[in-house]
Each structure stands twice: as C-alpha cells, then as structure tokens.
Structure 1
Amino acid sequence: MTQHHGARASAHSTERSRLLPDGSDASSGTLAEEDQGASRSSSHGITPIRASLIVVALGLLIFLQATNISMLTTTQSTIAADLDAFEKASWFTSAYLVSMSSVAPITGRLSHIFSPRNVIFVSTIIFCIGCILTAFAPNFTGFMVGRSVSGIGAAGVFTVSTILVLQLAPTKQRGLSVGLLNSGFTVGVSVGAIVAGALLERTGWRALFWMQAPLGFVAALCLLINIPETLSSDKPKTNHTSMISKLAHVDYVGAALLTGSIVFLLVGLSAPKIVVLPVVISLILLPIFILNESYVAIDPIVPVTVLKSRGTLFTCLATVGLMMARWAVLFYSPVYVLSVRGWTPATAGTILIPTNAGFAAGGILSGWIHIRRDGSFYFATLVIFTLFPISLVALMFAITANSSIVFLVITLIVNGLCVGASLVYSLAHVLHLTLPETHFIVTALLGTFRGFAGSFGSAIGGGIFARSLDASLRDNFKERGLDGRAELIRRLIGSPALVSSLYGQEREVAIQGYVDAIRALFLAGIVLGIAMICVQAATGWKGPSAQGNEEDRPFWTSESSADGVFEEGVEGVVQEAGHPGGLTVPGGGFDR
C-alpha cells in the first residue's frame, strides 16, 4: 500500500507545482502565506466595493440553497396533493440532498480545472434551471428531475463558495469569513420554512421555486463580473497542462460508484417498505468504490488514505450519525406542529427558530468560552455527544397533543446547543489528532460527511417515519372499527396538514399516528446518538506525535516523504480531497 501511494505521489509531482519552494519547510511556507494573506484580495485587483458585492452575492446563493431544503417542511402537503404523491413525499427533499451530496466532492476538482469563478457561475445557472423545472413540473417524475438538477447546482455553490472565501480572505479572518458564510445557511434554514409557509396561500408552491431563479441569476452575474479572471486555482506550472489532461484526472468512475451506492441505499431504506435488492446493490458498489479510490483513481474523490487515520475516520462517522439524528429534528419539528398542534403552514416554520438559534449559540459559546487553545478536547466532546441523545429523550416527552409549547421550545434550544457545540468540539479535537499539514483535507472531509448526513437523515428518516405512521394508522383504525381507510392513510402519510381537516375519531387516530411516528423517529435518533458516543470515544485522545504509529498517519507523512513523496507539499493533500491546489492551506492552530 505504501509503495502504491508513493508511486501515485511521484506521478503527481510531475503534473503539479510544489506549494513550497525548494529548501522550504512547512512552517516557513505557512509564514509566507501569513504575509501574503492580508494582501491577497488587493493582489487580484478586488476593491472594497467589489469585495462587498462578492460577499453579498455568495450570501444570497447560500441562503437560496438553504431555503430550498427547509421550505419543503411547510409546503410538502400542498405539493403532495397537487402531484398526487403522498406516499413519495419524503423524496421531495431527499432528491435534492442526494444529488448535492453526490456531486459536491467533484466540484472542487472541477474548480481546479476551470477556475472557481467559472464553476460557481455555471453551478448557479444549473441551480436556476432546476428551480424552473421544479416549478413547472407536471407530475412527480418531473418534480424529482427538477429537484435533482437543483441539487447538482447547489453542490457547486456550497463547495466553491468556501473555496472563494478561503482564497480571498486574509489568513487571520478566514475563520470569521467561513462563519459568516455558514450563518447564511443557518438563517436560510429557519427563514425558508417561515417565508414559504407565509407565501404558500398567496402565491402557490410553484412560484416559491421559480422566484428563486432570477435571484440566483443576478447573484451569479454579480460574481462573474466582480471576481477577476486572474483568480484561478491553478499554479503557473499547471497552467501549461492541456485541458484534456486535466479532465482525464477527474475521477468519473469514483463519482459514479459513490453516487450509485448512495442512491441505491437510500432508495431501499426510504421506501414505505424496505426493499432489499437496492440495499444489496449498494453494498456491492461500496467496496468497489473503495478499491477504485485506493488503487485505481489518480485523484480520488474521497481520500481513503486519510481515513486510515483512526481519529479522522471515527470523527467523520460520528459526525454523520449525529447529523442524521439532527436532520430528523429539523425536518419533523414543523411536521409535528402542523399535524398534531394544528398550526398553519405560515406559522409552522417558526418552530425551527429556537433550535437553529441554539445551534448557532452552541458553536459560538463553546469556541468563545472553552476552545481557546490547541490540544485535546476528548472528554468535552464526549460530554456534549452524551447530552445530545438526552435532549432527544426530552423531545420525545414534548411530542404530545397537549404538552407545553414552552417545554418544547426549551428542548429544541438545548438540542441545537448540543449539536452546535459538538461540531466545534469534534473539529477542534480531530485537528489535535491529525498532523497540521492534513488539517485542510480533514476539514473538507468533515464537511463532505455532513452533507451525506443530510441525505441519509432525510431519506432514511423519512422511511422510518412513513413506515411507523402507516403501521400506527392501520392498527388504530382497525382497533376502532374504522376499516376501509386505505386512501385516507395514503394521503395522511404525505400530508400532515390534512390532519386539521379531519373530525371525530379520524382526527384522533391521525394525531396519535403522527405522535407515534415522530416518537419512533426520535427513538431511532436516540439509539443512533448513543452509538455515536461510542464511535466518538474510539477516536482516542493522543495526538500524532504521541501515537508514534506510522500506520495511523496518512501516507504523505510517513518516512517516504524524505525520499521525495512530500515534495508535493500540502497541495497534493488538498487535491486528494478534490479541492484546488491553489488554495492557501491553514497552519496547525485551531484558531486559524
């Protein structure tokens, strides 16, 4: 394995320029980047006005992507009724997230070939086309096509926005800049559900999608005009590489295998009844993908070599599990107040405000009060991971027809606090567990796995919810002697707002069915959260210098680096993650 990776690194060294000049070490390279960071924007001719326009345009695009996810929570009932797709409603969001997560890893590589400026423009245009296709979809199939196209465009927007911020922001302001960028997503998740619910009765659901297209196009045009052509992810040496040669290094096979594995798995697990064949196909494609990334791909989408590090692997897995349970809360809290409490779509989205406020506060407070140094945060991370499933237990008690809304809001805030803090603590700890020159790729991997969690959480969680709701409705209708409600059950599975239009025993059964289904979903989240405590505990607490085990280190940090493997510098590491080599790589400190 080591010889193989050494050969791969040697081959890459002929195609990529070194990030560090001859005779330089990693620390001197970092200092050079510090000196260059403050003048990076000015070196590209970006005036303060142009920089402000770029920031506003990026913020608007991130906001639009987030609203595209959350607004389905308050519009799902109307769309399902219009398209007669009640039993398939869980795929309204999943189609978007699956395509976004599957394509995101390759967009960074494309920005290395075509420049971030061009990739984000094309990605935004694809997103706008997807919004239009969604808005004018004549049936469920057309709607799914539109959602998938939107997700493909969103993948480029999310990835390249971060790349642009890292390239343009001064080194000392990168953390703040990325934090502000992420805040656009958090605000979009909360506001999207509220605005969509408020406008639904006035404009209809189709207008909510096509109205995003002109806004996205204006933002894309603003970026195309204001981002200078000189801003490229290519180093001078790689500019002489032909386009065909660059395109040849894109891991198309890996992208197809990864996408196929994810899609088949989610199709099998998200169906009203678990379908075994797609799950089996997924389990066959996954090892083929791993073999391709390990032995065949020149620039693998997911750097399997990095995952040889125990700390990185288990941190990524713990992040996926935690965020899967978190997405269940985000998707089904509005469903609860719509169906069980009888809130209108215009007000149901407001239930996301406290939990997202808690999420933001958790990340800020943990960083401000505690994480003010480098080093291990092993026990603090485990404590926060333990508090998360406890908050889900409290939410289970809050999910009733007569529970206190104040208690529900408090538990949602606490749940958000736990998640926000856990992400920051786990990031700080994994940076302690890994070598400084790998921090960029580790951070990129965590972001990629968080994207996977959204897909898994919406699709698999939707399958658990639909199966539990179907079983509860059938059993309760049968117990009360209300047979012949098959059509009503089908409609209720995809339309939580339908509950408010029912009366008598039908309404009682529907409310109890939704309570049972959401509790079953949160119970699955509790089990998953407990399992993730064990996964996070497996990361360990010793840094790489204390471990002293070459097998726990990625190949580019082994002794072979003295023989020329490390000549690629951190650039090779970044490109292994699908990010452009021209990115400035942060140094070792978490405060970077």
Structure 2
Amino acid sequence: MSSVTPLGGRLSRIFSPRAYITASACISALGVLVTAFAPTLAVFLIGRGITGVGAAGVLSVVIILVLELASEKRRGLFIGLINSGMTIGVSLGAVIAGAMAPKLGWRIVFWVQVPILLLAGFGVFAALPSARKDAGHPDKPPRQSIAGQLRRIDYLGAVLLVSFVVLFLYALSAHVIHPLYIVVSLILLALFVLVESKYATEPFIPVTVLKSRGTLLSCLATLGMMAARWSVLFYTPVYAIAVRGWKPAEAGLILLPTNAGFALGGLLAGLFHIRRAGSFYISCIVTFAFFAASLSLLSQISTPSSSATAYVIATFLNGLVTGASLNYTLAHLLHLAPKSLHIIVTPLLAMFRGFAGSFGSAIGGGIFARSLKSTLERGFAENGLLNRDSLIRTLMGSPVTVQGLMGVEKEVAVHGYVVAIRALFVAGAMLALVAGVVQAGTGWKGHEDLPEEEERVRREEERAGGAEWEAA
C-alpha cells in the first residue's frame, strides 16, 4: 500500500480524484473478495496485496482533496476528521472482527467489507464535484491524452522502491537478521535513486523535492514516530492476552482508548489551533516529546500488577499526542513547501506514514521476537525446564498459550512477555526521541523566507512541480 501511494496521487490527476477514489474502492473490494475465497495462504496474501493497492488510492487522494476544497482556516479540522475516520475504522474493525471470527469464521469478516467498500466508493463519487478548482486555468498547459500520461509514469521506479521495501523489511523482521538481504535491498535503493535522478521522465518521487530539508526531514520524522506508534497498536493487545490474561476478543478493546485519543488529538489540534497557514514548529517538537514520554510510561507499567486504569489512560494519551502531532506535522510541511508542490509533498508524506506500519511491525516485531525468545530460553534453563523448544516456538506465535500453562512454566512465559514488551516500548521511545530531533531539523522558516543560498534548490523543486502540473 505504502509504495503505491505516490503513484496513486499521479493517477488521480490523470483520471480525476473522484473517479480514482471510486476505482480504488472497487479494487479494495476485489482484494477483500479474493481474500474471503482464499483456499491457501498464497492466495490470501495476494488478496491482501490487491486490497492494499486499492487502499493506497484513497490514502493518496484524500489529503489532496482537502487542500483543494477546504479553506486554510478549516483545513486542519478536515485533516483531523480524516485521521479520525481512519482510526475509528481500525478500532471498530478490530473489535467487530474479534467478535465475529470465533463464532462465524474468519471468511465472513472479509465478506461483510465488500458491500461497505462499494457503497463508500460510489458515495464519494456522487458527493465530490466533477471538476477540480484548476479546471480551465489559463496558465495550465493543454491536457495530454490519458494514454500519453500513463506512458510517462515511472513504473521502473515504483518496482524498485517496492522491491527495496519488501526485501529490507523481510531481512529485519526475521528472528535472525540476514545481512545479505539488507545489502541487496540497499543496492535496490541505490538503483531507485539513480533511476529517479537520471533516467525517469517524470520520477516516481522527484529527487529535487527530497533535496528540500523540510520535506525530507518531515517525512523521516513521521516515519520514525509512526513506526513507534505501531508498536502500541500491535503489542498492547498482546500484553493484554499474555500478561493480563484477557480473552482474545476482549484484548482488542484495549485499542479503543488509544484510537479514541488519536481521533480526539487530531480534531482538537485542527479545531482550535490549526486555523491558519504558517509555522507550527514548536507544536511539532512538543508533541514529539510527549509521544516519547508516553511510550516510556507504557514501558514502565507493562507489568502484571500495574493498574489497568492507568494503562488505559497511558494508551489514550499516546494516541492523543500522536493524532495532534500528525496534524501539526502536515500543517508545518505545507508551510515549508511552495504551494505549487503541495500536491507532491502530501502524497509523499502519506507514503512515509504508510511505510511506518510495515517498518513498525517488521522491525518492532523482530525486536520483540528476539527478546522474547532469549528470555524464554534463559528462564526455562535457569529453572531446570529442559527440552522446551517446541513450547517456545508456540509461545512466540500464540500469546494465548500462556493462559493454558501452570506453575513455573507460566511464570517464565509471563516474565518473557513482560521483558519483550518493555524492551519494545523502550526502543520505541528512543526512536521517538530521534524522530523529534529530526523534526526539529526542519526549521521554522517557510519557502518565502528561504535564504539566498537555498533559492536554487527551491527553483529546482518548482520545476519538478511544473512537470507534475503538466501531467495533471
């Protein structure tokens, strides 16, 4: 999904945003249908991939539509509403799926999504205006044919970027890190940069845009923060099952407060603060700092004896500052970038945000798995419980197994999960601090305040934006 996001932004300018969102919803519905019918794991994964391609179309276009249709005063509010809608969907989906799957089977969880996706897609098509604001603009070049615009898309760059991400994440998510895969993935990244800078007629990601300090550092900071955020979304339910002894259907409920906080944070920031165009530098730094603090707090209270109420409050606060931070980061990036490049930098930021889920699950999962495995092996050995390799493998793949253990085995298993989860959250807090430092490097001056020596890079960016404008 993440790798296709910039391509989705370009396609939306070829076919119109409302047509592309509708097509994306149909593609997602097809992917869900394939998943529901899947007879094997391979077909299941293909279905999820198709669904991700469709979801990328929505992710890349919704922010562009807000920039085009909303005033600067209300822009922050609508972005907050979009983020709220996404996180509410994640929360409800986890709870509903957790309730339906044990009784009705997992396939019905995907079946019910098909009509919802189709209804939403065609509903958006009917609700959006048929023409964009810039239609008929006197400075806009004559529109090329659709076939001509499709031929100019940088498909090679897309393939190289997707290949790099898949291989790199696979290398880092395994129980044992594979240096060879990392080296090959970095070679693919170098080839991607070469193609984008030297050979692509219209680059998948214009390298001149990434030369902008504000754009590049904003994207990297968002990637780091959201990768840490996904550790909360993935592993607080694991904590609830393995350490607190909750049932799997109940564990999904722990996501409700953190996602409610995420929705509220974005809404409050947009409603009361982001009511103008301009710098939000201090707000970005403050929210990054509070985000790191919330992860540090979670690492300390992820124990069997901690207060459940305190834990829920901590997850809510983590979501609150995340939602506000994403809104502030986007608003500040729009201040840093020339207006002609907003249609480029917003899908780019969305792409890095989307990457965070993959990076967070892969890298965070690797940290968690390695810590859990070593702690379990050491704990069983110290207590004289030999030949527990099969149990360790089961525990690493199924936290609910802990609830069926007794005596020393259960103590070792619970302790292993506590150590692994705390290690993950500590790593997340450290990553969040690094991301905050990166965000601080973006500066507070907008493109109109750039010093003379940065003017050349700005002109290159605007020329790259001109190519995007022509493709629209």
1:395, CA displacement in angstroms? 0.3
Tell me, what secondary structure is at the counterpart of 2:207?
Answer: coil
In structure 2, relative to structure 1, the CA distance for the partners of 1:431 and 1:120 (3 Å cut) is closer
Tell me, what secondary structure is at the counterpart of 2:156?
Answer: helix
2:315 pairs with 1:431: no
Number of the residue aligned with 2:360: 457
Number of the residue aligned with 1:150: 51
More moved, 367-376 vs 266-275: 367-376
- Matches of 2:73 and 2:268, distance apart in 1: 20
In structure 2, relative to structure 1, the CA distance for the partners of 1:148 and 1:309 (3 Å cut) is same
2:308 pairs with 1:405: yes
Number of the residue aligned with 1:533: 436
1:437, CA displacement in angstroms? 3.5
Tell me, what secondary structure is at the counterpart of 2:3?
Answer: helix
In structure 2, relative to structure 1, the CA distance for the partners of 1:443 and 1:126 (3 Å cut) is closer
Match of 1:278 among 160, 181, 185: 181
2:241 pairs with 1:338: yes
2:220 pairs with 1:326: no
Identity of aligned residues (%): 52
1:140-539 equivalent positions in 2, closer than 5 A? 140-163=41-64, 175-223=76-124, 241-539=144-442
1:550, CA displacement in angstroms? 4.1
In structure 2, relative to structure 1, the CA distance for the partners of 1:169 and 1:428 (3 Å cut) is closer
Look up the equivalent residue of 2:290 and give its one-letter code. Answer: L
1:444, CA displacement in angstroms? 2.9
**8 A contact 2:35–2:47 mirrored in 1:** yes
In structure 2, relative to structure 1, the CA distance for the partners of 1:232 and 1:455 (3 Å cut) is farther
More moved, 530-539 vs 220-229: 220-229
- Matches of 1:378 and 1:259, distance apart in 2: 32
- Matches of 2:219 and 2:459, distance apart in 1: 20
Number of the residue aligned with 1:9: none
In structure 2, relative to structure 1, the CA distance for the partners of 1:230 and 1:335 (3 Å cut) is same
More moved, 367-376 vs 518-527: 367-376
- Matches of 1:232 and 1:373, distance apart in 2: 20
Mark the structure with the bigger radius of gyration. 1
2:38 pairs with 1:137: yes
Number of matched pairs: 470
**8 A contact 2:77–2:267 mirrored in 1:** no
1:240, CA displacement in angstroms? 5.8
Look up the equivalent residue of 2:188 and give its one-letter code. Answer: L
More moved, 546-555 vs 282-291: 546-555
Show structure 2 runs of 5+ residues with no match: none
**8 A contact 1:264–1:279 mirrored in 2:** yes
1:435, CA displacement in angstroms? 3.1
1:360, CA displacement in angstroms? 2.5
**8 A contact 1:441–1:574 mirrored in 2:** no
- Matches of 1:338 and 1:390, distance apart in 2: 24
Look up the equivalent residue of 1:298 and give its one-letter code. Answer: T
- Matches of 2:381 and 2:439, distance apart in 1: 44
In structure 2, relative to structure 1, the CA distance for the partners of 1:539 and 1:356 (3 Å cut) is same
1:233, CA displacement in angstroms? 9.1
Tell me, what secondary structure is at the counterpart of 1:101?
Answer: coil
- Matches of 1:551 and 1:116, distance apart in 2: 33
**8 A contact 1:104–1:448 mirrored in 2:** yes
Q: Per-residue displacement from partner, 1:327-384 (whole Å, max 9, x unpaired)? A: 1111111111011111122221221122122222323333444445544433332232
- Matches of 1:574 and 1:446, distance apart in 2: 19
Number of the residue aligned with 1:6: none
1:423, CA displacement in angstroms? 2.1
Q: Per-residue displacement from partner, 1:215-261 (whole Å, max 9, x unpaired)? A: 32343455566768767998698776334322210110110011011
- Matches of 1:250 and 1:337, distance apart in 2: 46
**8 A contact 1:134–1:147 mirrored in 2:** yes
- Matches of 1:475 and 1:369, distance apart in 2: 52
Look up the equivalent residue of 2:421 and give its one-letter code. Answer: I
Q: Per-residue displacement from partner, 1:520-570 (whole Å, max 9, x unpaired)? A: 111211221121222122222333344313436644378xx8xxx6xx9x6
1:176, CA displacement in angstroms? 4.1
**8 A contact 1:362–1:419 mirrored in 2:** yes
Look up the equivalent residue of 2:235 and give its one-letter code. Answer: Y
- Matches of 1:365 and 1:483, distance apart in 2: 54
- Matches of 2:267 and 2:39, distance apart in 1: 44
- Matches of 2:106 and 2:432, distance apart in 1: 35
1:405, CA displacement in angstroms? 0.7
2:450 pairs with 1:547: yes
- Matches of 2:305 and 2:45, distance apart in 1: 37
Look up the equivalent residue of 1:102 and give its one-letter code. Answer: S
Look up the equivalent residue of 1:445 and give its one-letter code. Answer: L
RMSD: 2.9
Tell me, what secondary structure is at the counterpart of 1:298?
Answer: coil
**8 A contact 2:80–2:263 mirrored in 1:** no
